[in-house]
Amino acid sequence: MGHRLRPILRAFGLCLVMATQTPLAMANPAETKRLVISNSNTDWGLATPYLQARGGLGYMLTHFVFDNLVGQDKSGALAPELASSWQVSEDGLHVELTLDPQARWHDGTDITSADVAFTFEYMAQHPHPFVSLANVSAIEALSPDDLRITLNAPDAGFVSSVLVGLPILPQHIYRGQDNPRSFSDPRAMIGSGPYRLSNHERAKGRYVFSAVENYYGGTQKYDEVLIAKLQPEAAIEAAAKGQVNVISDLPTRLVDYAKQHDLQVDMSPAGHPIKLRFDHAGLFSSVQRRQALAFILDRQALIDIAYRGGATLASLGYLQDNSAWFNAETVLQYNHDPDKAAALLMRSGWSRDEASGRWAENGSPVTLRLITSGREQALAQVIKDQLDAFGLDVSIRVLERGALRKMKPGEDYDLILAGGSTLGDPVTILERVFGTRWNNEQYRGDGTLRQLAEAQARALDPDRRAALLAKFQHLYSRELPAIMLLNVSRTIAHDADSKPWFFDDGLTLGIPVATHKYMLLEE
């Protein structure tokens, strides 16, 4: 394919020059078919697996450039990508794949099973931020187009999490790179996807992606895709002038305003509930106190006051109603009931002063330390007001996201108010509920809930897995490792010609974006 990128200067002097590639042949710029997507957030890093920002949009931009072994069709179901076919053994320990022989790297080099084997070995040494390969025991290239992956234990979600989520790297470029997180050479952005990054202006939050010629996976709808940093109000005005096609993060308050400018609006449950997480070694090691908090909070009032109706009640059983595994019948409910909450707190050892109505433990007033980011500050204040009315003092600290990551349970907080994904294959429950990272729930419990999570992750039979997940949702709603408060809807606006869509269970690993690479390809 012998492409060569036209030299284009990035902000701060990074020059994206790929001497092995040629520019798209477009003599008349007016003939360029371009899609412009606005987003109000800051820079999302470079479109490589190791230099992307650790967020959904960072992954999405990398997904334009790097393909995975397995993709998704329009409904979100598994579909061929770099692998034209795959087969899982009956015992779930082996996965055999055949690669698409037409697949090429952007520099024209053939993609082979050696690249895939290299990627797994390389990412075992240099872990990808979103995908764990801990269960992979071996990978063997059987031929240039065929390979076998062997697992340590059966994994019901291996295809729909690892193979769908792991970007494949070119061996001839990444071999010998000892620190991929400092590898910002333009060659680091040579992938196999439908687009390549041709311009990145960090100060402006601006990206330009150019269509790759002869892409094996289909025909691109657009010659260029521009990601532009714009506040939603300005983006609506620009869209009215034909300068923006998709507004990827439309606030609910601007839905009517967007429609007045003849834009189409699509909404989807985010599957990223805003939740209260606990210090499980401290005041809320007691399940009675966690349950009491669920009875104290009027979650519908939280929505009405903090989000003005722009959210829906979350399921308290962890999985949300856009998941194929959601089972509403098993989930316990905690309707606003201060009397039940008071009884639970007294049973847990707290006492209430009859005169002041304030709560104490062993004679000392209880003050709950709540930390959150600026994004949830308004919600934190409403929660504080509700708990204060019940007699619980709350101190709020609003932190930048970087500082929030450094907070330690016991030392720095009792409660964290933050969002967290429940999308993607339920195998992710093991990390999200029981993991030790700052954004995991870090649940300790009696072990039964973890046993259910582990069993469903190994259950290869879908019916058995559904039954185990139904039990998990019931027990989760009883134990409350976190209180799922509400789901903020993800909303986009777009013109009549562009047709983005949300997947029910998110993009690849469960990312709730509608501006993915699949919308950029002809059907």
Does 48 have pLDDT greater than 60? yes
To which H or E segment does residue 455 belong?
helix 448-458
pLDDT value for 519: 97
**pLDDT given at position 29:** 52
Residue 126, pLDDT > 50, answer yes
Neighbour tally for 43: CB within 10 Å: 17
> What's residue 2's pLDDT?
33
DSSP code of residue 53: -
User: What percent of the chain stands above pLDDT 70?
Assistant: 94
Whether residue 24 has pLDDT greater than 50: no
Q: Determine the pLDDT at residue 5.
A: 27
Tokens 């606030």 belong to residue: 251
pLDDT of 16 > 80? The answer is no
Q: How far apart are CA 381 and CA 301, in angstroms?
A: 12
Cβ–Cβ < 8 Å for 295, 341: yes
361 Ramachandran zone, left/alpha/beta (phi>0; psi -120 to 50): beta
Nearest Cα residue to 276 out of 384, 154, 349:
384
Predicted pLDDT at 179: 95
What is the per-residue pLDDT across 285-344, written as a single tens digit (0 to 9) for each? 999 999 999 999 999 999 999 988 788 999 999 999 989 999 999 999 999 999 999 999
DSSP 98-158: EE-TT-B-TTSPBP-HHHHHHHHHHHHHS--SS---TTEEEEEEEETTEEEEEESS--TTI
For residues 380-399, give the mean pLDDT: 97
Summarize the confidence of residues 8-12 as an average pLDDT. 30
At residue 136, the pLDDT reads 97
- Coil vs helix vs strand at 61: helix
Structure tokens at 385: 């007001």
User: pLDDT at position 398, please?
Assistant: 96
Residues in the chain: 523
E strand map for 310-422: 311-313, 350-352, 359-361, 364-365, 367-373, 393-399, 415-419
Q: Model confidence over 249-273: pLDDT tens digits?
A: 999 889 999 999 999 999 987 788 9
> DSSP letters of 176-245?
T-S-GGG--SGGGG--SSSEEEEEEEGGGTEEEEEEPTT-TT--BS-SEEEEEE--HHHHHHHHHTTS-S
C-alpha 42/C-alpha 331 separation (Å) is: 38
C-alpha dihedral (436, 438, 441, 442), degrees to nearest 10: 30
Show the CA angle centred on residue 316, arms to residues 285 and 347, nearest 5°.
40
**Rg, C-alpha atoms of the chain:** 24
Which residue do the tokens 């010609």 mark? 497
CA distances from 186 to 20, 67, 110, 225 (A): 11, 18, 19, 19
Report the DSSP pairing between strands 264-269 and 70-72.
unpaired
CB 166: neighbour CB atoms within 10 A? 24
Mean per-residue pLDDT, 55-59: 83
| Angle CA 476–478–484, to nearest 5 | 60
Q: Which helix (H) or strand (E) holds 164?
A: helix 164-165
pLDDT at 85: 98
In the predicted model, what is the mean pLDDT of residues 278-289?
Answer: 96
**Residues 130-149: pLDDT tens digits?**
899 999 999 999 999 999 99
Q: Please report the pLDDT score of residue 32 as a whole number.
A: 86
Q: Are the beta carbons of 223 and 34 closer than 8 angstroms?
A: yes
9 falls in which pLDDT band (50, 70, 90)?
very low
**Predicted local confidence at residue 489, as pLDDT:** 85
In order of their start, the domains of the chain are 8-239+495-520 (3.40.190.10), 274-489 (3.10.105.10)
DSSP string, 257-320: HHHHTT-EEEEEE-S--EEEEE-TTTGGGSHHHHHHHHHH--HHHHHHHHSTT-EEEPPTTSS-
* For residues 43-64, average pLDDT: 89
Rounded CA gap, 10 and 45, in Å? 12
Once rounded to an integer, what is the mean pLDDT over residues 36-53? 90
> Is pLDDT larger for residue 373 or for residue 31?
373
- Which position has the token pair 């993609």? 111
The per-residue pLDDT of the chain, averaged, comes to 91
Q: Ramachandran region of residue 445, left (φ > 0), alpha (ψ -120 to 50) or beta? A: left
Three-state SS at 347: helix
